[in-house]
Every structure is written in structure tokens, then in C-alpha cells.
Amino acid sequence: ELSPRLRCLSPAPGSLWNLHKMITKTTGRNALLHYSSYGCYCGWGGKGQPKDATDRCCQRHDTCYNNLLRGVTPPPCKLGLTLGSPLPAGRSSWCAQLSCECDRSLALCLKQNIWTYSKRYLFYPKHRC
């Protein structure tokens, strides 16, 4: 169970399972059911204009991970083979902490904007983004 500060104590920070647990614990909603295919940015890939504040949280999460992968925040991380989570290019603890912070920020953002969640954007067709 996550601490009140949402620290990443999992042995595999940045993993999709850890992200799922963090979002579910923070929002009180099952992450897989509510956020894995929402709007234009929640779920795999992302493009176009976010549909609402909830979708903007996911857009910011995508940007955070992309910055890690491009090395905007040193040291750079490289895309791993484990479900697309950033892996370290050098010091694992630094990269893991940064990817954990991306995930933590997403969970908090989704909680703060839970009132903007709309069922009409669940399973929103990506070609309309």
C-alpha cells in the first residue's frame, strides 16, 4: 500500500503495474477501467488536443516521460523492453526516481481533476484527436 506521500517503494518503479496501483489508490478508481483508454492522451500514444483537464494530466505525463527519454533531465533514460517504461542509461536510481515522479504527478493531477472526468471520453476514438 502506498504511503500518504505516494513514494515509489515498488522494486520496479516506473512499471505499469506500479502506475496502476498509484492511480487507483490516489483517485479511488480502478486505473485500468477508467484511465487506460480515455480521451486523446490517457492510454497508449497521444495526439491532438486534450479533451478535458483529466486528459491534460495524461498529456503532461506523456511529456514528462518523453523528456526523460530524450534526456532533457540528465542523465538520459532509454526506452526499455518492459512495457515501455523508461530504463536507466547509467545510474538506475536517478532515472527510476524521475520516472516515479512523473507517475506521482499524474496520479495527483487525476485526483485534483476528478470532477472533469466524463464517460463520453472513455474509449474515445483516437482518430478523432
Which CATH number do you get for residue 52? 1.20.90.10
Could you list the residue range(s) of the whole structural domain that residue 94 is in? 16-123
Give the separation between CA 101 and CA 6, rounded to whole angstroms.
9
- Specify the number of domains making up the chain: 1
Residue percentage of the chain with pLDDT more than 90: 52
Please check if 117 is assigned to a binding site. no
Does 83 score more than 50 pLDDT? no
- In the chain, the N- to C-terminal Cα span, in Å, equals 35
Point out the residues that are catalytic. Answer: 61, 103
Could you tell me which of 79, 45, 74, 77 has the C-alpha nearest to residue 59?
Answer: 45
Point out which residues pair with 78 in neighbouring strands.
87
Domain annotation covers residue 129: no
Pseudo-torsion of CA 108, 16, 92, 74, nearest 10°?
Answer: -50
Mean pLDDT of the region 15-38: 91
90 annotated as ligand-binding: no
In a domain, 93, yes or no: yes
Q: For residue 3, tell me if it sits in a domain.
A: no
The pTM of the full predicted model, rounded to 2 decimals, is 0.75
pLDDT at 122 over 90: yes
39 is in an annotated binding site: no
Report if residue 25 sits inside a domain: yes
The per-residue pLDDT of the chain, averaged, comes to 79
User: Where does the pLDDT of residue 55 fall: very low under 50, low under 70, confident under 90, or very high at 90 and above?
Assistant: very high
The answer to whether residue 117 sits within a structural domain is yes
